[in-house]
């Protein structure tokens, strides 16, 4: 455990100094290698080999699909369709935001991209309709959390590529949990809006909804080809880009090819950042494994915990704490190798654990003090960190309550993989 303490100390100091995550991970790994008198060639080798992974290509294409959806008018139509269903109830427009985030998440897989895309349309609309800016930003931030939980999910791609678990099974396992979180957020919006008297009218001027069936069929198509075994997650991600482009160009006639280079550049920057973190974190994971940290953690847990449920409850607390202070992708990559052995020892289903693991860390995106989506909301609304956190608290409770249910009812995660993929 000494090696783990040294690493966390090194990483913590670098993080506090404001060094970018990828450099903090890389420097910590290099220092650990030097302390153990291991050649630095190991760092370069682990970094490069970790990126030579076919599954990681899916990140680029799913992010690009989201960009093409925005440019081709598909995102706007999804929001417009949802707005017609939710009328004359308290918080109607905020509920539109939550449901739209869930639908967008079913195509994109990124929390930040989901919050940005839906927020660009619905945050101004909510403020115009009389919702307080801090509340409107909190709704968008909370909605963004479902981005990496409802399939496809970029964090689950990263997790599955690290552990070797089926990415299709992880996607399927996240479906019901994602829906449960969306339902919890809708209830929170309704209760808050009813108590505060927020608007019932859903007045959005989004233009024509012609051809909406193409947009609503998109999530079902991507999910179906993955869990049906027709395509891998990577192949489906390329299909997502092609589908979004085809619909935006020939059905909606809103896609402008001159904007495509900019979309591609943004997608490459986003996925490139994640892949750099993957490379550095893989080197860190090797050092921790070299120091037998996973085995030590396993021995400690086995000697103090008596059942798989106790292991999951303790893991929930640990991941909750880590999610508060560390960004999503590095947290997944650093902790995954540590938990692989305890999961096997306690006989916990690896797909169940993977979905639970990614979901708790994803919820950290709206948990202070480091939650990325909180800062995004502050930037959007111009409100202080404290003001946004105050509005987020009911959503944080709803999200963690939904995730904690998984500890006691694993079928929330395992049922769909069992029915569709025949894994059990």
pLDDT tens for the 424 residues of the chain, in order? 566 677 767 767 776 777 776 777 788 778 878 887 888 888 888 888 777 766 678 778 888 888 888 788 887 787 777 777 766 778 888 898 898 888 888 777 778 778 887 887 788 888 888 889 999 999 999 999 998 898 888 889 889 888 888 888 999 999 999 999 999 999 999 999 999 888 766 655 555 667 788 887 888 888 788 777 788 778 888 898 999 999 999 998 889 989 999 989 988 887 787 777 777 777 777 777 777 766 676 677 767 877 888 888 888 888 888 887 777 877 887 788 888 888 888 889 999 999 999 999 999 888 886 677 888 888 888 888 889 999 999 999 999 999 989 888 999 999 988 887 665 5
Task: Look at residue 287 in the predicted model and tell me its pLDDT.
Answer: 76
For residues 108 and 66, the answer to whether their CB atoms sit within 8 Å is yes
Phi-psi region of 86 (alpha: psi -120 to 50; beta: other; left: phi over 0): beta
State in Å, rounded, how far the first CA of the chain is from the last one.
Answer: 35
Q: How far apart are CA 184 and CA 145, in angstroms?
A: 12
Task: Look at residue 294 in the predicted model and tell me its pLDDT.
Answer: 62
Task: Look at residue 245 in the predicted model and tell me its pLDDT.
Answer: 93
Q: H helices then E strands: how many in the chain?
A: 20, 0
Give every CB contact of residue 110 below 8 A, 6+ residues apart in sequence: 62, 63, 66, 147, 148, 154, 270
Task: Look at residue 200 in the predicted model and tell me its pLDDT.
Answer: 67
In this structure, the dihedral spanned by the alpha carbons of residues 387, 389, 394 and 395, taken in order and rounded to 10 degrees, is: 120
Q: How far apart are CA 416 and CA 223, in angstroms?
A: 12
For residues 177 and 403, the answer to whether their CB atoms sit within 8 Å is yes
Task: Look at residue 139 in the predicted model and tell me its pLDDT.
Answer: 94
Q: Is residue 250 classed exposed, middle or buried when 0-12, 13-18 and 19+ CB atoms within 10 A define those classes?
A: exposed
What is the crossing angle of helices 350-363 and 154-163, to 10°?
Answer: 140
Place of tokens 């390329």: 238
For residues 69 and 248, the answer to whether their CB atoms sit within 8 Å is yes
Which one-letter DSSP state was computed for residue 251?
Answer: I
- The model's pTM is 0.78
Task: Look at residue 79 in the predicted model and tell me its pLDDT.
Answer: 76
């Amino acid at each position: 455990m000494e090696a783990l303490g040294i690493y966390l100390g090194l990483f913590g100091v670098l993080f506090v100094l404001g060094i970018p995550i990828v450099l903090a991970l890389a420097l910590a790994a290099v220092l650990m290698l030097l302390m153990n008198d291991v050649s630095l060639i190991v760092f370069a080798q682990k970094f490069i080999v970790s990126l030579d992974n076919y599954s990681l290509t899916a990140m680029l294409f799913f992010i690009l699909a989201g960009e093409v959806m925005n440019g081709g008018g598909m995102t706007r139509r999804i929001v417009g369709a949802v707005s017609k269903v939710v009328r004359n109830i308290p918080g109607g427009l905020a509920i539109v935001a939550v449901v739209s985030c869930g639908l967008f998440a079913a195509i994109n897989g990124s929390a930040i991209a989901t919050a940005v895309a839906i927020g660009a349309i619905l945050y101004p609309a909510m403020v115009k309709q009389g919702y307080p800016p801090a509340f409107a930003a909190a709704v968008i931030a909370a909605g963004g959390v479902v981005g990496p939980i409802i399939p496809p999910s970029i964090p689950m791609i990263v997790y599955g590529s690290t552990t070797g678990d089926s990415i299709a099974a992880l996607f399927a396992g996240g479906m019901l949990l994602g829906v449960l979180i969306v339902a919890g957020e809708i209830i929170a919006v309704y209760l808050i809006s009813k108590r505060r008297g927020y608007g019932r009218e859903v007045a959005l001027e989004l233009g024509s909804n012609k051809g909406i069936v193409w947009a609503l069929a998109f999530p079902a198509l991507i999910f179906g080809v993955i869990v049906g075994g027709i395509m891998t997650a990577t192949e489906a991600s390329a299909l997502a880009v092609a589908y979004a482009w085809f619909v935006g160009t020939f059905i909606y006639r809103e896609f402008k090819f001159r904007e495509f280079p900019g979309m591609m550049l943004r997608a490459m920057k986003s996925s490139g950042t994640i892949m750099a973190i993957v490379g550095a974190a893989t080197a860190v994971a090797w050092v921790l494994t070299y120091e037998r940290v996973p085995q030590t953690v396993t021995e400690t847990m086995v000697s103090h915990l008596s059942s798989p449920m106790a292991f999951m409850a303790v893991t929930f607390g640990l991941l909750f704490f880590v999610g508060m202070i560390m960004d999503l992708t590095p947290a997944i990559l650093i902790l995954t190798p540590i938990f692989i052995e305890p999961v096997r020892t306690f006989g916990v289903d690896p797909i169940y654990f993977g979905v639970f693991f990614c979901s708790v860390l994803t919820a950290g995106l709206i948990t202070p003090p480091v939650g990325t989506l909180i800062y995004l909301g502050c930037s959007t609304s111009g409100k202080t960190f404290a003001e946004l956190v105050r509005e987020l608290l009911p959503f944080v409770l709803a999200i963690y309550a939904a995730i904690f249910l998984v500890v006691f009812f694993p079928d929330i995660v395992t049922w769909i993989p069992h029915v569709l993929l025949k894994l059990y």
